[in-house]
Amino acid sequence: MPMPDFAAPDSSALPLRLVTPEGLDAALADLPETARGWAVAQGFGAGAGAVLPLPDAAGGLWGALVGLGDDKARARGRFVAAGAASKLPEGTYALDAATDPDLARETALGWLLESYRFDRYAKQAAPKARLVAPKGVDAERLRAIAAGEVLTRDLINTPASDMGPAELQAAAAALAERFGARMAVTTGEELLARNLPLIHAVGRAAAADRAPRLIDMRWGESGPTLTLVGKGVCFDTGGLNLKPGSSMGLMKKDMGGAATVLGLARMIMALGLKLRLRVLIPAVENSVSADAFRPGDILASRKGLSVEINNTDAEGRLVLADALAMGAEESPDLMISMATLTGAARVAVGPDLAPFYTDADADAAAISRGAAKAADPVWRMPFHAPYEAMIEPGIADLDNAPSGGMAGSITAALFLRRFAEPVRYAHFDIYGWNPKPAPARPKGGVGMGARALLEAMPDLLGLE
């Protein structure tokens, strides 16, 4: 489908008014008589997400009301008004000029995101209602954010049959070409020659046309340095510790970290942020074959730390470890990893929150502020030092899957931090999937944390 966009400015655009229950009487009093009578007759109460097209005196369409709900309802959702894009009749609409600027920005972005349809395999009806970019809103920024989110969703939604390591590489290459970035790829046995043994070990069991690889993209010539590392496990069988079928069904999304950093990278490059960006994506398929790595193996890593394999289904942290170690060698000002890493994170905070880890209180505060502004909720988790012993098995430097089932997201984050040190570092353990439809977020792949990070970049990196 075409990239979601705003309608061209149109003086005849239909009025679109966002209404709370407490402001309903005033909103009705301001309507033309025919529209007001219709709204009263329909019993419109301005409930969250309620949409009411309004007639004019000639029987045509005058405009529409969209309910925002009361304080409790608004606290339970986001992009409340954006669902109107899929409910309104065909036409071009414009928000009331008196709409609160923050609400106008969230609604405008939500409208673009609500317009998304994944139609690669089956035709999907796109909304016919279009929105004029509200005055005072940075429409170009919202377009860039939406385009990054669309990229992330498309990559996650594409099944592994069409999104293996080579296809993920092609998506990164297309992005690099569009924005003038440079890209290098290390593939197959070359990973061993380049001292990336964990990436090779996890991906070596896959078919030859799905060989493991490290994608390395660079953009920008000046400014602070930012390295994004995304887990690119294009399908995860669990390896020899084979997942049950019920757990394997969504494993096309196990490259959600890679999809999200590519989406964020697209936002950064489209907006021309004054920084030097590096994106590292270890792209593999965790398959089962005679060459698969085994429980009990002890593997070498790029950093020189040995890793005991207690579960081949804890492979994401292994491929990230080599990529983080490589990224840390250049001492970037900030390094961030994003990964669909642990079920423990989903159990802890559910599918709607992006848990993140950082040792820097100022960075955590900046990310949280960005999340609130971007309607992209996050939750800080602790790098809890007393749990370090849980990832130290004795027979090797590190354990990839500590027994006991406790604090699984934290121990995974501590494992990754060992490879990122001493660089300033944040880690996101995301879910990358929306299990049921919501305004601006259809069921399926979804970006988590990227918009929050984009909003936080000025504070995180001192950007103007």
* Integer Cα distance of 7 and 91 in angstroms: 10
3-state SS, residue 185: strand
List 317, 417, 418, 451, catalytic entry: 317
Residue 175 tokens read as 């992005």
* Integer Cα distance of 448 and 256 in angstroms: 9
* Integer Cα distance of 341 and 430 in angstroms: 7
Q: Are 453 and 264 in contact (CB under 8 A)?
A: yes
* Integer Cα distance of 65 and 36 in angstroms: 11
Residue 179 tokens read as 């924005």
Largest CA distance in the chain: 82
Task: Tell how strand 433-434 and strand 425-429 pair up.
Answer: unpaired
Q: How many CA atoms lie within 13 A of 332 on its CB side?
A: 27
If DSSP states are collapsed to H, E and C, what string results for 266-309? Answer: HHHHHHCCCCEEEEEEEEEEECCCCCCCCCCCEECCCCCCCEEC
Going from the C-alpha of 84 to that of each of 37, 160, 194, 206, 456, the distances in angstroms are 21, 33, 52, 45, 29
* Integer Cα distance of 185 and 259 in angstroms: 17
Task: Tell how strand 307-308 and strand 298-299 pair up.
Answer: antiparallel
Nearest alpha carbon to residue 351 among 258, 444, 262: 444
Active-site residue 253, yes or no? Answer: no
Active-site residue 243, yes or no? Answer: yes
Task: Tell how strand 91-95 and strand 129-131 pair up.
Answer: parallel
Site of tokens 């070498």: 300
List 36, 243, 274, 373, catalytic entry: 243
Q: What is the DSSP string of 348-392?
A: HH-SS-EEEEES-HHHHHHHHHHHHHHT--EEEE---GGGGGGG-
Nearest alpha carbon to residue 213 among 184, 236, 235: 184
Going from the C-alpha of 328 to that of each of 48, 382, 421, the distances in angstroms are 46, 21, 7
Residues tagged active-site: 243, 317
